[in-house]
């Protein structure tokens, strides 16, 4: 047995110590290390610290698990008022105790790399983290697992709640399509293992023979995330005529940028873009425990945006009643296959749901052997409103047996808020009566507040009894900040106007 396998043998015991109600002293090292391709990391380089701070929502577990201590490893420090905010959320009756059990280890490095790689460059900080663990049981909760995360775990002597990097390619788009098929999950017409424009053109020609009315396809890089590795291309010209096979490689794929074509050399998929009277993008979260137990944790409706409508910007929980049970069945079947291959930890499974002639059909799109964009809002829900997921009812609370829903996004923003202190946002939301209320199990939970400094952005999860109420609460957040001005906008406004005032309309980017 190699060193990592020996380390992983202790994962089950630490997970048991980390169960709600446990008084066993233990440490959870939150390691939101986005160990992805260079292109993707370069795109998000300046946002990495705020994206890492989303996982402070995981620190809310200290309110339910008295023995838990959470250390967030991050490349930029959250402010003190943000840590105080999460401490009050976690334990409103004893926030001081929660604050003692929530801490950060800051690795001051602004390079576009995962924080695990940055930590490995700092043996002094690794030593400090070992001292904080202090011989207590510990586990590492990663975003994804590469050799860097394994090296951190070995250096700490703490098992990883994630899949061994040797299995990482199981989550690639091509491998995912094959696994869906093996698990009996329908997939759109498509071709795997595409590496260049010529192969992509040949794939389109093949799909057109199966789907004569094909209009658009999605070109997907095998190893990508957040929809940034997806590109929608048309297979018809401006007059709606099919682009001839001889010109598909140049005409239809001429809009694909050079960086995308270069990254595609590592492999990808061409897939039919399904159409119907209604189309949605649901997903499911699966947890695979040591020993192979598979649990479907939640289903969501993803909110997509960006130039191609493929970039994740937020979500709604739960997924539509009409197909949520089907999503859960498919996700469980995928989880069983992955567990059989040795996968452990979180898995995110993405689907497309299409309504035609009054009937919904569900197709598997891709799977990710890691946490995803729906992980942190669901984490807030399960720690603040304990309950259980029922595919037929959604989240059923332990306290009152009634459902809870939410609307969440990482992209509530306004240029006027650039430089706005997080504390003022927290106060404004509370002043508008929107703050989370433990008594009712409803309200707004904030995250990613450090992004205010860079681009006037923060995250919101609005928890309510019904989807309509969650949407209404979510939409009320920008109004709660009406009139708020950050330092950068205030200085710009002062230069423009003798009165120092400036008008700016807030927006929520979906």
Tell me the CB-side half-sphere exposure of residue 157, using CA atoms within 13 A.
Answer: 10
CA 321 to chain centre: 22
Contact call for residues 63 and 105 (beta carbons, < 8 A): no
Is 24 in contact with 69 (CB distance < 8 Å)?
Answer: no
Cβ-based neighbours of 59, under 8 Å, separated by 6 or more: 30, 70, 72, 86, 90, 102
Output the six-digit token pair for 3.
């060193």
Q: Where in the chain is the domain with CATH 3.30.1490?
A: 189-272
The string of DSSP codes covering 364-431 is EEEEESS--TTHHHHHHHHHHS-EEEETTTEEEETTTS-EEEEEEEEEEE-GGGTT--HHHHHHHHHH
* Interaxial angle between packed helices 422-431 and 80-90, expressed in degrees from 0 to 180 and rounded to the nearest 10: 40
In the prediction, which pLDDT does 498 show?
34
Fold of 189-272: Dna Ligase; domain 1 (3.30.1490)
CATH number of the 402-508 domain: 3.30.70
Its pTM stands at 0.87
Give the span between the Cα atoms of 446 and 83, in whole angstroms: 12
Q: In this structure, what token pair is assigned to residue 41?
A: 């990391």
Backbone angles phi, psi at 9, to 5 degrees: -65, -20
The answer to whether the beta carbons of residues 140 and 31 sit under 8 Å apart is yes
**End-to-end distance of the chain based on CA atoms, in angstroms?**
48
Evaluate whether 412 touches 461 at the Cβ level (below 8 Å). no
CA separation, residue 345 to residues 141, 223, 374, 469 (Å): 9, 19, 15, 32
Q: Which residues contact 96 (CB under 8 A, 6 or more apart)?
A: 87
Residue 169's Cβ-side half-sphere holds a number of Cα atoms within 13 Å equal to: 6
Distance CA 499, CA 510 (A): 33
pLDDT of residue 503: 27
Q: Are 87 and 102 in contact (CB under 8 A)?
A: yes
pLDDT of the residue at 250: 72
* Structure token pair of residue 345: 């930890």
Which three-class secondary structure state does DSSP give residue 144? Answer: coil
Residues of the chain with pLDDT under 50: 489-510
Number of H helices, E strands in the chain: 18, 20
Six-digit token pair at 443? Answer: 């309200």
**54, 451 in Cβ contact below 8 A?**
no
The pLDDT score that the predictor gives to residue 40 is 61
With 0-12 / 13-18 / 19 or more C-beta atoms within 10 angstroms meaning exposed / middle / buried, residue 232 is: middle
Cα diameter, the chain: 72
Ranges in the chain annotated CATH 3.30.70: 402-508
């Amino acid at each position: 047995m190699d060193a990592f396998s020996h380390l992983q043998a202790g994962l089950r015991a630490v997970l048991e110590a980390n169960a709600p109600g446990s008084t066993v002293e233990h440490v959870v090292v939150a390691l939101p290390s986005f160990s992805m391709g260079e292109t993707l990391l370069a795109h998000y380089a300046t946002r990495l610290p705020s994206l890492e701070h989303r996982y402070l929502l995981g620190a809310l577990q200290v309110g339910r698990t008295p023995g838990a201590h959470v250390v967030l490893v991050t490349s930029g420090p959250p402010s003190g008022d943000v840590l105080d905010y999460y401490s009050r959320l976690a334990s409103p009756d004893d926030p001081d105790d929660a604050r003692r059990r929530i801490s950060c280890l800051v690795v001051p490095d602004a390079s576009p790399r995962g924080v695990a790689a940055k930590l490995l460059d700092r043996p002094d900080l690794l030593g400090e983290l070992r001292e904080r663990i202090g011989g207590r049981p510990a586990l590492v909760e990663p975003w994804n697992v590469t050799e860097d995360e394994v090296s951190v775990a070995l250096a700490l002597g703490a098992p990883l709640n994630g899949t061994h990097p040797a299995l990482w390619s199981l989550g690639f788009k091509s491998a995912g399509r094959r696994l869906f098929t093996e698990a009996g999950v329908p997939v759109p017409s498509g071709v795997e293992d595409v590496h260049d424009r010529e192969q992509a053109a040949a794939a389109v020609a093949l799909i057109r023979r199966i789907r004569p009315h094909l209009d658009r396809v999605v070109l997907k890089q095998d190893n990508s995330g957040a929809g940034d590795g997806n590109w929608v291309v048309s297979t018809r010209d401006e007059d709606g005529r099919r682009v001839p096979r001889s010109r598909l490689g140049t005409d239809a794929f001429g809009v694909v940028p050079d960086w995308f074509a270069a990254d595609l050399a590592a492999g990808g998929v061409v897939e039919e873009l399904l159409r119907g009277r209604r189309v949605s993008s649901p997903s499911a979260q699966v947890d695979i425990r040591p020993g192979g137990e598979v649990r479907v944790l939640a289903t969501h409706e993803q909110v997509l945006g960006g130039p191609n409508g493929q970039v994740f910007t937020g979500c709604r929980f739960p997924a539509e009643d009409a197909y949520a049970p089907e999503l859960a069945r498919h996700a469980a079947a995928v989880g069983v296959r992955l567990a059989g291959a040795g996968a452990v930890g979180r898995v995110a499974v993405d689907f497309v749901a299409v309504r035609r002639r009054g009937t919904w059909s569900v197709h598997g799109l891709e799977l990710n052997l890691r946490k995803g964009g729906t992980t942190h809002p669901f984490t807030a829900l399960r720690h603040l409103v304990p309950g259980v997921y029922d595919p037929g009812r959604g989240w059923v609370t332990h306290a009152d047996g009634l459902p809870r829903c939410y609307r969440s996004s990482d992209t509530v923003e306004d240029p006027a808020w650039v430089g706005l202190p997080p504390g003022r946002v927290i106060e404004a939301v509370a002043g508008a009566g929107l703050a989370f209320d433990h008594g009712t199990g409803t309200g707004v939970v904030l995250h990613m507040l450090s992004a205010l400094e860079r681009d006037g952005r923060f995250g919101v999860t609005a928890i309510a009894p019904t989807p309509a109420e969650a949407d209404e609460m979510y939409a009320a957040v920008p109004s709660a900040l009406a009139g708020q001005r950050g330092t950068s906008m205030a200085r710009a406004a002062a230069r423009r106007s003798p009165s120092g005032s400036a008008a700016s309309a807030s927006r929520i980017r979906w």
